[in-house]
Each structure stands twice: as structure tokens, then as C-alpha cells.
Amino acid sequence: MPKNVCVIGAGTMGSGIAAHLANLGFQVSLLDLTPESTRAAFERATKARPPHFFVPETAHQIRLGSIRDDLNWVSEADWVCEAIIEKLDAKQNLFAQIDPLLRPDAMISTNTSGLQISLLSEGRSESFRRRFLGTHFFNPPRYLKLLELIPTPETDPNEVRKITQFLEDEAARRVVLAKDTPGFIANRFGMWAMIHAIHVAEKLQLTVEQVDAICGPFLGRPRSAAFRLNDIVGLDIMEDIARNLRERCPEDPYRGSLEPPKSLATLLERGWIGEKSGQGYYRREGKELMALDLHTMAYRQRQDAQFASLDALAKRPLGERLAEALEGRDEVGDFLREHLIPVLQYADYLKAEVSHNVQDFDRVMMWGFGWETGPFAMIDAIGASRLGMDIPTYYLGDQMHAYAGGIQPIRQEPEYQPLTNYPLEKQGEGFNVRDLGDGVKALSLTSKMGVLHPSLIRTLLQEVSQLSEPFLLTSEARSFSAGFDLKYVLDVVERSAWEELDENLKVLQDLADLLATRRCVAAIFGHCLGAGFEIATGCPMIVAHPDTQIGLPEAKVGLIPGGSGTARLRLRHGSTAKAALDIVTRLTQGLVAANADEARKLGYLRPTDVTAYHPDRLIWDAKKLLQSKPPQSEEVWSPTPGPLAGMIDNKQEELKAKGEFSDYDETIGDSIKQVFCKVADYEEAKVREREVFLNLVRSAPTHSRIRHMLETGKPLKN
């Protein structure tokens, strides 16, 4: 039975938390002051970009109410998550109202980014105080997996363990236990580092583009880097957090860096607070992103920030490149000496005050801010002596430096172990075989973006035929698979090697069909497109990361799925004319689902396929499903529904009249129609899909679409 959660506060965070939990299948109630304020706030949440919901329909599953009329709903909840305005008295007054309404076994938390948790439970019942703690979600909750969990001295340790397990297992979060100090770990350190970078930029008279060039992937941080990140977070939010820290940390010797830099103060005065106001350190004008000149405080066209040292060192390991860059006598070296060294020194100063161990501190910066490594792993990688720090090595194999002296073990968490940590049994061109333990293997792609070339497909066919154990089909690339090698298809066109292409398509079909007979699960993430989807959906079950892009976009390059994808979707959706028409239309449009839930809605995923909602448990969950529920494939061919061909024709004419279909789109649709309407069984459907694929690949409009996609990365509508 789904867990019942009541979220109180429908603002940005409250609505985001409610949406995240609803996505996971929780029964969610959302309350704000009045019915009107709840509806207005939630309406904004449904229009958020990036979207809070995997599919829009999920929003309708959230029950909307008000504190004024429906506060008794908290008595139904397994968990009450308060997320109202960040004011101590407002939160205390609310807790006084809900204390007598809570179930004795319910979890109760406050979502706050900086208030002292222990003050919020003053005056409450012993039962309330024993179960009460802080839950610091990160915005937006759907996309940021970190949750700082902050108990008070009165929180029962058993309750801490209970909600930690609940948040990790049920709410798909990575939990870090933080101390009840100002800003916890993330805002105390992370906000200081963000504001400090602005001070250094102003001091060294660097441009926002130069700082962002240094502070992005080169520094082991996301592409949003420094100033783009400031705009995304919101300059007003930054100053609110900084003000709170300045007031609550008067003895912190690093406190001065939290004073607003000149540019930040000016932008706040003008109301230019970042993306939500349309301008901050950057401003979008049409398709152009303008940059703020920190000297004139006027916007100008962006300038390329090119540093020879960044280019020369970019491919070196993080610690090596930063160690060398710190020695550089250019703007990069100047910035790193003025910014990175103080940042790492401040982490060392703060560590015992805000966190229980260096691993927790590092994880906050990795999971909440997207850093490649946390500050302590970075210190080890660079070398403390190079940073002017006389400190021990923080990490020693499976142990770490303990604050009280000596060493302590690093927590072993097999459920979060990445695929690359499992023993390598076999390595080939474009694939690995790993031992996942318990008699389960992993056959994983290693080609760039999991792209499938004919030679790799043949190798996979051979490997699958030899694997006797249950196995996961997955990938060690950045995505499961971006599909078939389009450059190879263009090469075939230039050589007119039609028989070769037909044979390679048949091998791809054979691989998908062989997978259907094996005890295997496809564990997909990132992109699962084209031929990648064809082999994944050949497996008896797919376990998908929720944000996987899934689909068959071949029509965008003038083709149809030719590796059994068209035939298999005809097999699955051919029982009714309506279902078949919907799939034909999606294939003709080359429609790709933005996430796993949408893929299920569009018919790419089967009802028996599974979404692994925890962002770090895909391999673990897929393995457990493979062990506990042997996959079975039971698909029966249905005769063509009588009116299907006419319905397809009518749909195409309708879309052409709307300007959504070109003449060549209609040609592609007619090709798909042949597979859906003019074959007697699955085997004949596979033969027909190869035939029409080869007919299309000979066509000049298809050649134009392929070349345009390879040259621009965008589809051509011809």
C-alpha cells in the first residue's frame, strides 16, 4: 500500500517535494494557508521548467487542501513534511496545531535551509520531540538527490535510523546526516564558496565568462560553473542565506567573505536576481545569452574565455590538472590560488563543526552541488602540501581520517556500488562482462554513448549465446545506447552495400530475439534510442532510470526501426486498431519519450517493465528483480484489426493538413503501415521491416536527413 504523506506549505519547495513524492507513487496531500493559496501555488508548480512531474497526469493525484480547513489530514499521514515560510515563529505555531493530531507512529520533519532545528520543537510533546528532525531537500527535488537529515539532541536515534531508511528506500534520496548548525553542511560551506568566487572575480578583474570557464568541468564542477549557478539559485536566495549565516556565525573567522560583493549588491538593488527575473549575471535576449560586465555593470555580448592552460590540462585527472594549474602564472593560476585554496582551507576549518565525517561532507558537495569530488578528496588528490596545509591524508583505501584522531572505516553500501566497481571477467571491443555476484553477470556496452556498430552487434550476439547465467544488459558509457551507428549507414549509402546492410539488420534482429529467450534484464539510463531500444526491449524485462530518454527516432533520419523494433511494437500493440494507430503515428513522428513514465504512457515500455526511481540503485534494483522475479516474455501476434490501414491514412492526411507531416513523412508512415497491416506474423514482419528500411535508405530525402543529422545534430524536415 502506498505511503501517505502530508506536505504543509505549497511554495517552491513544498510543491516540489509533493511532486517528487507523487512521481514515486505516494499518496500525497498538499496544504497551504487557504484553498486559494494552495491552488495558485500548485498551479505554478505544474508549469515549472524543468518540469516537476514525469507526466502531467501525476499532478491530478495530489490532494489539495488548506491549513484552515483540512489540517486534520495530518492524522492520516505516515509522514508529515512541513515546508512553510522560513520563519521560526510561524513554524512553531504550526507545530503547536499539528502536535495533537499526529499518529503516534508518524514521522514529522521540517524542511529548512538554515533555521535551528532544536528551537522549532520547543514546547512540543515528548512524543513529537522524539520523532522530530530537519529534512533539507534541494531544489528542484525531482532532479537533486541529496537530502540533509538533521536530528536534534532529543530525536530518538531509532527514529533517525527509521526515517533514513525510509528516505533512501522509499523516497529515492541520498541521505547525509548533518549537525544542527547554521546552514548545515551545504549552505554553510557551499554558499560561502559561491560568494567567495564573486569576490575573487572582482578582485582580479576577471570577466564572468573567464570565471565560468575555470569553475566548470575543469574544476570538477557542473557546466553551470559559478555565475550561471548564481543566476539559477537566485541572487536573492544567496543573500538571504548569507545574511542568516552572517548573523548566526559571528565567531567564524571566514565570515567576511559572506558580505555581498559589489556586483551582487548592485544586482540586488536593481532587482536583477537571476533567471526568475530574466537577468542577473547573464541576460537572455532572444536566442543570445548576454553577459554582465562587472566593471560597467552593463550587459554585453559574451566573449570567448580561452586559456591555454585549460586546454592543455583538461584531459588530465582532476588532482593532477589542478595541482599543475595552481603553479601557473596566468589568470587560471591566479584565480585558483585566490579561490580554490581558501575554499579547501575553509572546508578543513569547518569539518568537525558541521559534519560527522569527511565522507559526509564530500557527499554533500557531490550530490547537492554536482562536484566531481568533495573538498577532502580534492585535497588528497592535489596534495595538502601544495595547498599550504599541514594535515594528514583524509582517505586511506577503505578507511578515512577521523575527527577525534586515528582512522575510521568508510561505510560499505553495496546497493550503491557503481557498475565499474564490480570484478571484470572479460573485456572486448565495445563491451565488458562483469561478475555482479550471486551468480549474476553484467554484459555492458563500452562504446561511446553505447552506439551499436555492426561488428559490436555480432560480438554481442556471440556473447549472449555463450552466457548461461542470468545477466543484466547495460552500459558503462554515459548512456545505455544512443542507437545504431549512423555514420556506418551513410557509408553503406556511399558504397551501395545494400546486401551487407540487410545482413547486419538481420543480425540485430537475431540479437533482440535471442535476448528474448534468455533470463536477462536490460538496465537502461541516459538514452535508450533506436537500435539500443530494440535490443533492450528484446529482453524479457527493462529496468529504467526514471529520466531515461526512450524511443525509436529513426523517422527523423528518414528510416524506420529495422532491427525488429517495428515488428516488435506491432506484436505488442496490434490487438486493437486504436493502439496500433497510436504506435504507428509515434514511429512516423520519431517520437522519443523524455522519461520512463512517459515511455510507458507512449507504449514503448511494457506494463511489466520497471522504473528504478532511486537515481543510484539501477544496477542493484535490476539485479534484485532478476533474482526474485525471473523475467518471462509472453507476447502473442494478433491479426491486423480490420480498419487499421484506413485509419492510418486518415491520420496522416489530418497531420498533413495541420502542417505537421511532410510528403516524405507520409512515405515513412506508409512504410510502417506495411509492417503493421500487410504481414501475417512476427517473422514476416521482421522481413518486411528490413525490406522497407532498405527501400528508404536508397532514397535521396533519407540521405539528406542522415547527413543533416550528422552535421548539425538536428532533424531535417524535408
The one-letter amino acid code at 694 reads: L
CB of 91 closer than 8 Å to CB of 115: yes
* 197 and 152 in a common domain: no
pLDDT tens per residue across span 593-631: 999 999 999 999 999 999 999 999 999 999 999 998 767
pLDDT tens per residue across span 545-603: 999 999 999 999 999 999 999 999 999 999 999 999 999 999 999 999 999 999 999 99
Q: Could you say which of 120, 145, 177 is where a domain stops? A: 177
What is the rounded CA–CA span in Å between residue 650 and residue 445?
A: 41
* 645 and 665 in a common domain: yes
DSSP 62-75: SEEEEHHHHGGGGG
Q: Is the pTM of this model over 0.75?
A: yes
CATH number of the domain encompassing residue 106: 3.40.50.720
Report the percent of the chain where pLDDT is more than 70. 99
Query: Could you tell me if residue 330 is inside a domain?
Result: yes
Query: Could you tell me if residue 374 is inside a domain?
Result: no
DSSP 264-295: HHHHHHHT--BGGGTBSSEEEETTEEEEE-TT
pLDDT tens per residue across span 255-284: 999 999 999 999 999 999 999 999 999 999
* 121 and 11 in a common domain: yes
Query: Could you tell me if residue 717 is inside a domain?
Result: no
Domain that holds residue 429: 419-710
Q: Does the pLDDT at position 349 exceed 60?
A: yes
The C-alpha cell 555476484 sits at 437
Closest residue by Cα to residue 340 from 153, 140, 196: 196
Confidence class for position 634, pLDDT limits 50, 70, 90 = confident
What's residue 139's pLDDT?
87
Confidence class for position 392, pLDDT limits 50, 70, 90 = confident
Query: Could you tell me if residue 380 is inside a domain?
Result: no
Q: Does the pLDDT at position 198 exceed 90?
A: yes
* 193 and 122 in a common domain: no
* 220 and 172 in a common domain: no
pLDDT tens per residue across span 451-464: 999 999 999 999 99
* 472 and 326 in a common domain: no
| Cα–chain center distance at 394 | 29
pLDDT tens per residue across span 152-186: 999 999 999 999 999 999 999 999 999 999 999 99
What is the rounded CA–CA span in Å between residue 504 and residue 510?
A: 10
Query: Could you tell me if residue 375 is inside a domain?
Result: no
Query: Could you tell me if residue 362 is inside a domain?
Result: no
Q: Does the pLDDT at position 104 exceed 80?
A: yes
- Mean pLDDT over all residues of the chain? 96
Q: Could you say which of 118, 148, 177 is where a domain stops? A: 177
Query: Could you tell me if residue 581 is inside a domain?
Result: yes
What's residue 2's pLDDT?
64
* 692 and 566 in a common domain: yes
Q: Structural domain tally of the chain? A: 3
In sequence order, what are the residues at sequence separation of 6 or more whose Cβ sits closer than 8 angstroms to the Cβ of residue 374?
Answer: 358, 361, 362, 363, 364, 365, 366
* 203 and 90 in a common domain: no
* 494 and 577 in a common domain: yes
Q: Which of 351-355, 402-406, 666-670, 682-686 has the lowest mean pLDDT?
A: 402-406
Average pLDDT for 470-475: 98
What's residue 491's pLDDT?
96
CATH number of the domain encompassing residue 455: 3.90.226.10
What's residue 122's pLDDT?
95
CB of 543 closer than 8 Å to CB of 442: no
Confidence class for position 633, pLDDT limits 50, 70, 90 = low
Q: Could you say which of 120, 152, 177 is where a domain stops? A: 177
Q: Which of 100-114, 352-366, 620-634 has the lowest mean pLDDT?
A: 620-634
Q: Which of 71-75, 226-230, 640-644 has the lowest mean pLDDT?
A: 640-644
What's residue 213's pLDDT?
97
> Edge-to-edge strands of the sheet including 4-8?
63-66, 27-32, 4-8, 79-82, 107-110, 132-137, 146-151, 174-177
pLDDT tens per residue across span 334-344: 999 999 999 99
What's residue 1's pLDDT?
57
Query: Could you tell me if residue 369 is inside a domain?
Result: no
* 213 and 146 in a common domain: no
* 585 and 558 in a common domain: yes
* 230 and 127 in a common domain: no
